[in-house]
Structure 1
Amino acid sequence: MEQNRRFNLSEFTETEKAINNAVRLIEKKLPPSVKATKAGVLLSSTLVLVQDVLLGDEGTIPNTVTKEQVADNMQDVEVRTIQEFDKPVTHVTVRMKNGFTVRESTTCVDPTNYSEEIGAQICLERIKNQVWFLLGFLLQESLSEVKSF
């Protein structure tokens, strides 16, 4: 059963203050010509992240990772097959939205039974499970941050 914790954005007041302080510190290190632009972008981006990523459309924090989120985070897939120790090995690498990569590989006992398509499917399923795990970790981090308010 899906449960969501409801709260309003006033709970993020302390976070917003911390963000503003961080922006001020960053502004001190930027050249005058880019201070307002860079700091404004940082502040805007951070607030959008808090509102759009952590909060659902109705002001709730989802407590689950969906298949759609897993698929959305898997940006590029590269499949290649090479020979290792006289056997074909399929390597699949997935680049996630943030640039992080996840890799898996498969091989076979008998090269006459080898299928790159099946090997790639197996690798992709393993990678989806890893991405689900990683997104679950991030969600847990987000939920624990909100509970600390």
Structure 2
Amino acid sequence: MSDNKITREHIESVIEKKDFHKIKGTTITLCVLTLKNGYTVTGESACVDPENFDDEIGKQVAYQHAFEKIWRLEGYLLQQKLFDDCQDKTAG
């Protein structure tokens, strides 16, 4: 994370491990991303027609959904850091 910008590279750097699970008897794929601090984030995908199910596409979509959640969390952290820095400057 730069001073005021979150990059794809930063998000990728906080991911320690990724696991995928297909729910038996469904077209649901889950992605569990474990971050370096131990926190986990999940993403999911599903296909309406089982005949159209593609394992790799399911994994890609589930990963992207989890990745976007991390982006929001990192955005919150950045906003809090910027807020705290601003408070420190006005207090000092």
Quick check: TM above 0.5? Answer: yes
Alignment partner, residue 146 of structure 1: 85
Alignment partner, residue 77 of structure 1: 18
Structure 1 residues 104-115: aligned runs within 5 Å: 104-115=43-54
- Which whole-Å CA distance do the structure 1 matches of 2:48 and 2:87 have between them? 51
Give the structure with higher Rg (CA): 1
Where does structure 1 lack aligned partners over 5 or more consecutive residues? Answer: 1-52, 57-61
CA drift of 1:88 comes to 2.6
CA drift of 1:107 comes to 1.7
CA drift of 1:143 comes to 0.9
Alignment partner, residue 102 of structure 1: 41
Higher RCO (Cα < 8 Å, 6 or more apart): 2
Where does structure 2 lack aligned partners over 5 or more consecutive residues? Answer: none
Identity of aligned residues (%): 30
- Which whole-Å CA distance do the structure 1 matches of 2:23 and 2:68 have between them? 24
Alignment partner, residue 117 of structure 1: 56
CA RMSD in angstroms comes to 1.5
- Which whole-Å CA distance do the structure 2 matches of 1:129 and 1:139 have between them? 15
* TM-score for the superposition, normalised by structure 1: 0.55
Judging by fraction of residues, say which structure has more helix: 1
* Residues 75-94 of structure 1: CA deviation (Å, up to 9, x unaligned): 100001122xx423211100
Q: 1:92 aligns with which of 24, 31, 37?
A: 31
Alignment partner, residue 67 of structure 2: 128
CA drift of 1:69 comes to 0.7
- Which whole-Å CA distance do the structure 2 matches of 1:147 and 1:75 have between them? 31
CA drift of 1:66 comes to 1.0
Aligned length: 88
